[in-house]
């Protein structure tokens, strides 16, 4: 193999693949990236057998085609540390010389025989969506999914496509985010799957042209994505996603419009005084203002006011401030509509036409009042 | 001093201690009698956990009035005649001891009619005092009841537990019997409330589903192994559908529930390498064996048996399970494959990934931890073998013979410092602690060093914090968007009933949902992640361990311990420096921190003096 390639682009590709490769020492074969030189481009790919990505970097000149496995850790470190703008790669008998400026590295490679390469995007009905729009949908939902201890089916975002609509839902049982957008669906395909966190992160990061589209297909067990510069394929989570429609309140008794930035700032301030084990903050909506209060036996207390134009009865709820911070940070709109039914039921936070976040309050303990 | 022969009454009271321990023993004996009488339908009625009343009604063969007169007499049985018969017992009872034992410690009454007779008879036995047999009207079959258990043995009466607890023992007994006889219908009522109503069924599956829910019934793998003198059949559950305790291992020998070490061991062996640490498989085993090959007369409650050939049993059971696991692709070879298909998950029942996956990921995390540790804390030589061609001391590397000799330029390679991406760089003057193996925190102290078990310390802090907080108010509850339904065994269900208030104080909001399911509407906010049914069952299992001690306070304390354990960071969990700092600061504020609630130490300290001694420095 022999080629010359821009260091910067290859470096970026390797950074993305870095989230996929297995840490050295666990599955040695898959701590490598596959580096292939074809006539038009260099293709680097990596997989952990759950998710894999294939990125294409246009090259100045491919001297000789070929394919090898290169250890990701050293390869990416070299790309990071060297300063030359172009690097020249020459590989022969599994030894690769990397030259750039005054530096010269020699890396021992491995053959690709046993490596299970990432299957490409393939054929079949697919939809197209703006890359940035998809990244935004992921940002608005992925934070709400369950962690590694949580129920299985909730460890990913439910992605559904039907007609011109794409919808993503993430929930951990206490809060839920749903966002909808439009897609280009030429074959009018209907598809659905639960996409794990790692794959979502990669989808959001998959490089492509600015303003370009991303093609998406959900197959029986896998999801595939493709842009002009890369392809991705990952396993779906098999499981039954809860019936989420019914947990989204139709409309609350109390509705208040709040400026997101100020809301976030108030919650953050109140959160400074919460206890470690039971972080709780009281949010009280009163005529003309919203009050944020927190108290901790060891530290002290906090109360912060925020003006708002609300004229109705008073209502007060307890929340884990972390959950409010998570959603407020994700919202790009300036205003959020806060809808409350009562202190024991879910509140809905709506931003724009397409986003709703549902959050369950904390109660002071079922054992207290009854 | 004169030697006296104990009256039969006294002898029976002593013997009763062995056979009749609590209401559940009465239920067991009476139901076994019904089954021996060929009953197709058995109804059990209880009051106050069986302490006030146990009544068993069957449609079996019944007794004549002559039989009735003998039923309460010691060693009166219709099931054996000669001692040799003891070696080929095919009935559940054979000693003629149960009824006299029950009659000695309760107000017992039996009414019975044989199908051919127009009239039935009845007899009473209160505290060993026999009545005469009277004529009475009753449908064919037998009704046996025991009122006021231990009314004449106050010491034993006092030891009875709360009625939900006694009921949970009974339901355990009924579960076992009902599993052994799917063809018999069972009805269990407590204080008028129906607890089980199990129609007769050709197959055992329905019954398993009725008791243990769909999580179990839908994942069962059948096992069979037929042989000349022994048949082994039943169902096993794949690794992943497992339990924190081994109570979900049922073994029946000739229709009798038994506990046997060689069977337990065979089960454990069959699953060896497939189970996550501290998890136990779920198994239903039915062994049919020639009666002469098993001695049932070894234990007062007949819960243990002695096999003539233990090894054969062990081998058969182990093989049958192992084969089934292999055929269903749960053997190591399949598990170890790296394709990593996620297992199926049903509606509200979480099935965890197969254990091979568990182990693998655990191993992986340990390896990662070690690696991270060595990369950030030890001299460079101990890192992974370098993949660069280093300037070798003598000439070229042997493995790369086609490459040109290494020139001076290569030396640069060795100077590239590769920073492991995950390493938490601690500033030089920052706090003097770090984590090793993702499990321990090493902390510099003014006069030495502390090595802290992160889980034990956090658990200890939480335990004391929860207790302190509970003195003022209940814990906070995080409500759930979709209430979670948890199917429980009847025994678990009853245990929850008895502990409802304690659960609520800890922040759970629970409601009954059908006969043996509960709905969780809120859970303690302290638990950062709510893992649903599985976690709830684990909590229950830990609490069940405290059942030996009787006071509610003790059980509540056990629950707090279990919650602290669930809420604490786990061993193997990587902590960020701020997280470690927060933990250590909390420790500094706390009163207790040296031992976790289970009594294990949280901290191991090494003084400078000890270090100096070790290094033979004279300090
Ligand atoms: N429900 C019943 N229907 C018909 N006969 C019964 C019933 N219960 C008891 N008997 C008769 O009463 C006898 C005594 O019962 P008991 O339970 O005391 O002894 P057993 O069952 O023979 O032995 P074990 O002490 O091992 O239970 C039995 O052998 C049986 O003949
Ligand atoms: Mg009997």
Domain parsing of chain A, residue ranges: 2-108, 127-244, 249-359
pLDDT tier at A365, thresholds 50, 70, 90? low
For residue B37, the model assigns a pLDDT of: 95
Comparing alpha-carbon positions, the chain A residue that sits nearest to B500 is A367
For residue B296, the model assigns a pLDDT of: 87
- The answer to whether the beta carbons of residues B105 and B16 sit under 8 Å apart is yes
B519 token code pair: 């709905």
- Which atom of ligand 1 sits closest to the CA of residue B60? 3
Place of tokens 């802290």: B452
For residue B378, the model assigns a pLDDT of: 34
Angle in degrees, 0-180, between the axes of helices B204-212 and B163-180, rounded to the nearest 10: 160
Whether residue A321 is predicted with pLDDT greater than 80 in this model: the reply is yes
How far are the Cα atoms of A259, A340, B524 from residue B465, in angstroms, in the given order? 37, 32, 14
Q: Any chain A CB within 8 A of the CB of B481? A: yes
DSSP state of B474: P
Q: Any chain B CB within 8 A of the CB of A152? A: yes
For residue A24, the model assigns a pLDDT of: 66
Nearest Cα residue to B99 out of B91, B109, B85, B114:
B109
CB-based contact A363 B501, cutoff 8 Å: no
Q: Which of B77, B121, B125 to mutate to test the pocket of ligand 1 (most atoms within 8 A of CB)?
A: B77
For residue A22, the model assigns a pLDDT of: 82
Whether residue A163 is predicted with pLDDT greater than 70 in this model: the reply is yes
Q: For B275-422, where are the E strands, in sequence order?
A: 283-289, 294-295, 306-307
Give the torsion sign (CA, A342, A346, A347, A352).
negative
Which of A173, A240, A348 is the best substitution to test chain B (most B C-beta atoms within 10 A)? Answer: A173
- Rounded Cα distance between B563 and B557, Å, is 10
Taking only residues 173 to 212 of chain A, the set having a beta carbon closer than 8 angstroms to any beta carbon of chain B reads 173-176
B455: Cα within 13 Å, side-chain hemisphere: 15
CB-based contact A171 B481, cutoff 8 Å: yes
- Rounded Cα distance between B275 and B520, Å, is 28
β-sheet with A32-37: strand ranges across: A66-71, A32-37, A41-47, A51-58, A230-235, A222-226, A213-218, A127-130
pLDDT digits (tens, 9 = 90+) for A73-112: 999 999 999 989 999 999 999 999 999 989 999 999 999 9
CB-based contact A360 B339, cutoff 8 Å: no
C-alpha of residue B142 to centroid of ligand 1, in Å: 11
Nearest Cα residue to A174 out of B521, B127, B202:
B521
C-alpha of residue B5 to centroid of ligand 2, in Å: 26
- The answer to whether the beta carbons of residues B103 and B15 sit under 8 Å apart is no
Q: What is the DSSP string of B292-323?
A: GGEE-TTSTTS---EES-HHHHHHHHHHHHHH
CB-based contact B384 A25, cutoff 8 Å: yes
pLDDT digits (tens, 9 = 90+) for A295-308: 887 778 899 999 99
CATH of region A249-359: 3.10.150.10
β-partners of residue A348 are A339, A358
For residue B334, the model assigns a pLDDT of: 29
Average pLDDT over residues A258-283: 90
CB count in 10 Å sphere of residue B73? 15
- The answer to whether the beta carbons of residues B534 and B488 sit under 8 Å apart is no
Options 3.10.150.10, 3.30.310.50, 3.30.300.130, 3.40.50.300; CATH for A127-244 is: 3.10.150.10
Q: What is the DSSP string of A201-224?
A: HHHHH----TT-EEEEEE-SSEEE
- Rounded Cα distance between B378 and B426, Å, is 15
For residue A369, the model assigns a pLDDT of: 40
B279 token code pair: 């998890």
Q: Which residue has the higher pLDDT, A139 or B333?
A: A139
For residue B100, the model assigns a pLDDT of: 92
Minimum-distance ligand to the CA of B39?
1
Tell me the three state secondary structure of residue A49.
coil
- Cβ partners under 8 Å of residue B83, min gap 6: none
How far are the Cα atoms of A301, A362, B519 from residue A280, in angstroms, in the given order? 12, 8, 24
For residue B9, the model assigns a pLDDT of: 61
pLDDT tier at A320, thresholds 50, 70, 90? very high
For residue B89, the model assigns a pLDDT of: 83
- The answer to whether the beta carbons of residues B274 and B325 sit under 8 Å apart is yes
CATH architecture of A2-108: Roll (3.10)
Residue nearest to atom 21 of ligand 1 (CA): B93
Burial of B258 (0-12, 13-18, 19+ CB in 10 A): buried
DSSP state of B394: S
What residues does ligand 1 touch, defined as CB less than 6 Å away? B 29, 33-34, 36-37, 58, 60-63, 71, 76-79, 93-99, 142, 144
- Rounded Cα distance between B269 and B287, Å, is 18
Taken as a whole, chain A contains a residue count of: 370
For residue B396, the model assigns a pLDDT of: 36
- The answer to whether the beta carbons of residues B451 and B590 sit under 8 Å apart is no
**The pairing of beta strand A347-351 with beta strand A300-307:** unpaired
- The answer to whether the A127-244 and A249-359 domains have the same CATH topology is yes
Share of chain A above pLDDT 90, in %: 70
Tell me the three state secondary structure of residue B480.
strand
pLDDT tier at A161, thresholds 50, 70, 90? very high
The three-point CA angle A253-A255-A256 to 5° equals 155
For residue B470, the model assigns a pLDDT of: 81
Nearest Cα residue to A88 out of A77, A73, A72, A103:
A103
Which of A21, A365, A368, A370 is the best substitution to test chain B (most B C-beta atoms within 10 A)? Answer: A365
Taking only residues 517 to 576 of chain B, the set having a beta carbon closer than 8 angstroms to any beta carbon of chain A reads 521-522, 525-526, 528-532, 535, 567
Angle in degrees, 0-180, between the axes of helices B163-180 and B490-498, rounded to the nearest 10: 180
Q: What is the DSSP string of B215-274?
A: HHHTT-EEEEEE-SSEEEEEEE--TTS-BSSGGGEEEEETTEEE--HHHHHHHHHHTTTT
- Rounded Cα distance between A281 and A275, Å, is 10
Comparing alpha-carbon positions, the chain A residue that sits nearest to B510 is A366
Q: For B506-619, where are the E strands, in sequence order?
A: 509-513, 517-524, 603-607
For residue B551, the model assigns a pLDDT of: 65
State the SS3 of B74-96: CCCCCCCCCHHHHHHCCCCCCCC
- Collect the ranges in chain B with pLDDT lower than 50: 1-3, 332-429
For residue B121, the model assigns a pLDDT of: 95
- Rounded Cα distance between A100 and A81, Å, is 11
Cβ-Cβ pairs closer than 8 A, A with B, add up to: 190
């Amino acid at each position: 193999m022999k080629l010359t390639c821009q260091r910067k682009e290859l470096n970026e590709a390797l950074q993305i693949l870095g989230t996929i490769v297995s840490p050295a020492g666990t599955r040695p074969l898959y701590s490598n990236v596959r580096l292939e030189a074809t006539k038009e481009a260099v293709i680097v790919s990596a997989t952990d057998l759950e998710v894999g990505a294939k990125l294409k970097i246009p090259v100045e000149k491919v001297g000789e085609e070929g394919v090898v496995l290169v250890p990701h850790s050293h390869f990416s470190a070299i790309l990071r540390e060297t300063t030359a703008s172009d690097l020249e790669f020459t590989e022969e008998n599994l030894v690769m010389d990397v030259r750039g400026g005054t530096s010269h590295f020699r890396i021992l490679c491995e053959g690709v025989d046993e490596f299970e390469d990432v299957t490409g995007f393939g054929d079949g009905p697919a939809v197209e969506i703006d890359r940035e729009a998809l990244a935004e949908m992921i940002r608005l939902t992925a934070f709400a999914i369950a962690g590694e201890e949580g129920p299985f089916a909730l460890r990913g975002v439910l992605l559904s496509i039907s007609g011109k609509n794409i919808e993503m839902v993430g929930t951990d049982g206490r809060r839920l985010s749903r966002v909808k957008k439009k897609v280009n669906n030429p074959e009018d395909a209907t598809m659905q799957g639960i996409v794990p966190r790692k794959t979502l992160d990669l989808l959001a990061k998959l490089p492509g042209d600015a303003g370009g589209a991303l093609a998406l297909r959900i197959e029986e067990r896998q999801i595939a994505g493709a842009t002009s510069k890369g392809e991705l394929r990952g396993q779906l989570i098999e499981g039954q996603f809860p019936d989420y429609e019914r947990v989204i309140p139709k409309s609350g008794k109390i509705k208040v419009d709040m400026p997101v930035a100020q809301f976030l700032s108030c919650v953050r301030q109140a959160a400074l005084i919460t206890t470690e084990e039971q972080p709780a903050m009281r949010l009280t909506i009163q005529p003309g203002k919203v009050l944020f209060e927190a108290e901790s036996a060891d530290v002290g207390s906090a109360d912060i006011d925020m003006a708002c134009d609300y004229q109705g009865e008073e209502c007060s709820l307890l929340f884990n401030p972390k959950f409010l911070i998570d959603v407020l940070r994700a919202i790009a709109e300036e205003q959020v509509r806060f809808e409350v039914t009562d202190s024991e039921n879910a509140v809905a936070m709506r931003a724009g036409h397409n986003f709703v976040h549902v959050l369950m309050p904390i109660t002071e303990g079922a054992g207290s009042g009854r | 001093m004169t030697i006296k022969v104990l009256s039969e009454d006294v002898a029976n009271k002593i013997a009763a201690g062995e056979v009749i321990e609590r209401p559940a023993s009465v239920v067991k004996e009476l139901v076994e009698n019904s089954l021996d009488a060929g009953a197709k339908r058995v109804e059990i009625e209880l009051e106050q956990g069986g302490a006030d009343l146990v009544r068993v009604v069957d449609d079996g063969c019944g007794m004549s009035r002559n039989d009735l007169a003998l039923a309460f007499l010691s060693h009166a049985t219709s099931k054996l005649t000669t001692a040799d018969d003891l070696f080929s017992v095919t009935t559940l009872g054979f000693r003629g001891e149960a009824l006299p034992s029950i009659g000695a410690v309760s107000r017992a009454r039996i009414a019975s009619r044989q199908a051919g007779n127009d009239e039935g008879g009845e007899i009473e036995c209160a505290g060993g005092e026999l009545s005469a047999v009277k004529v009475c009207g009753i449908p064919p079959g037998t009704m046996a009841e025991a009122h006021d258990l231990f009314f004449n043995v106050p010491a034993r009466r006092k030891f009875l537990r709360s009625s939900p607890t006694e009921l949970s023992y009974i339901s355990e007994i009924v579960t076992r019997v009902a599993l052994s006889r799917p063809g018999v219908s069972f009805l269990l009522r407590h204080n008028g409330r129906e607890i089980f109503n199990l129609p007769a069924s050709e197959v055992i599956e329905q019954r398993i589903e009725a008791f243990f829910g769909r999580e179990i019934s839908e994942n069962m793998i059948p096992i069979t192994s037929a042989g000349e003198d022994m048949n082994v059949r039943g169902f096993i559950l794949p690794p992943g559908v497992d339990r924190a305790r081994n109570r979900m291992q049922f073994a029946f020998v000739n229709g009798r529930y038994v506990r046997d070490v060689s069977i337990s061991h065979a089960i454990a062996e069959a699953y060896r390498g497939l189970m996550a640490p501290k998890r136990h498989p779920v198994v239903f085993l039915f062994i049919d064996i020639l009666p002469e090959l098993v001695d049932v007369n070894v234990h007062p409650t007949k819960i243990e048996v002695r096999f003539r050939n233990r090894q054969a049993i062990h081998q058969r059971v182990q093989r049958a399970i192992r084969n089934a696991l292999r055929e269903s692709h749960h053997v190591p070879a399949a598990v170890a494959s790296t394709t990593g298909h996620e297992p199926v998950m049903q509606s509200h029942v979480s099935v965890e990934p197969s254990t091979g996956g568990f182990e693998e990921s655990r191993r992986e995390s340990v390896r990662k931890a070690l690696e991270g540790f060595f990369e950030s804390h030890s001299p460079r030589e101990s890192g992974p073998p370098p993949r660069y061609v280093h300037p070798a001391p003598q000439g070229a590397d042997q493995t790369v013979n086609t490459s040109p000799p290494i020139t001076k330029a290569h030396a640069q390679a060795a100077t590239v410092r590769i920073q492991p991406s995950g390493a938490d760089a601690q500033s030089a003057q920052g706090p003097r602690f770090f984590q090793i193996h993702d499990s321990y925190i090493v902390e510099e102290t003014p006069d030495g060093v502390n090595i802290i078990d992160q889980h034990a310390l956090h658990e200890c802090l939480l335990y004391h914090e929860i207790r302190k907080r509970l003195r003022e108010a209940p814990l906070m509850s995080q409500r759930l968007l979709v209430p979670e339904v948890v199917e429980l065994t009847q025994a678990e269900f009853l245990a929850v009933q008895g502990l409802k208030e304690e659960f609520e104080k800890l922040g759970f909001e629970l409601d009954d949902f059908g006969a043996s399911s509960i709905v969780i509407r809120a859970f303690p906010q302290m638990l950062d992640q709510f893992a649903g049914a599985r976690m709830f069952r684990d909590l229950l299992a830990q609490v069940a361990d405290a059942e030996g001690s009787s006071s509610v306070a003790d059980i509540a304390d056990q629950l707090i311990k279990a919650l602290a354990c669930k809420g604490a960071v786990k061993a193997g969990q990587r902590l960020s420096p701020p997280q470690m700092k927060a933990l250590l600061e909390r420790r500094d504020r706390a009163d207790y921190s040296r031992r976790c609630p289970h009594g294990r130490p949280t901290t191991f300290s090494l003084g400078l003096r000890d270090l100096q001694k070790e290094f033979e420095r004279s300090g």
